[in-house]
Homo-oligomer: A and B are copies of this chain.
Amino acid sequence: MELIAERGFHNAPMSLIAGQAGVGAGTIYRYFENKELLIAELFGELHIKVRASLLEGYDPEKTIETRFLHLGRGMLRYFIDNPLEFRYLEQYHNSPYGAAFRRDNALGKGADGDLFRRLFEEGLARQAVKNLPLTVLFALAFGPLFTVARDHIFGFIKLDEILITQTVKACWDGIRNI
Contacts and interface: CB of A to CB of B under 8 A. Distances in A.
A130 B170 contact: yes
B135 A166 contact: no
A62 interface: no
Nearest to A143: B143
Contact of A96 (B8, B95, B171): B8
Q: Secondary structure of the A side of the interface?
A: helix
A151 B174 contact: no
Interface in A59-108: 90-91, 94-96, 99, 102-103, 106-107
Interface of A: 8, 10, 90-91, 94-96, 99, 102-103, 106-107, 130, 132-133, 135-136, 138-140, 142-148, 151, 154, 156-157, 163, 166-167, 170-171, 173-175, 178
20 contacts: A90-B94, A99-B154, A103-B156, A106-B157, A130-B166, A130-B170, A132-B163, A133-B157, A135-B148, A135-B156, A135-B157, A136-B148, A139-B148, A139-B167, A140-B167, A142-B143, A143-B146, A143-B147, A171-B174, A174-B175
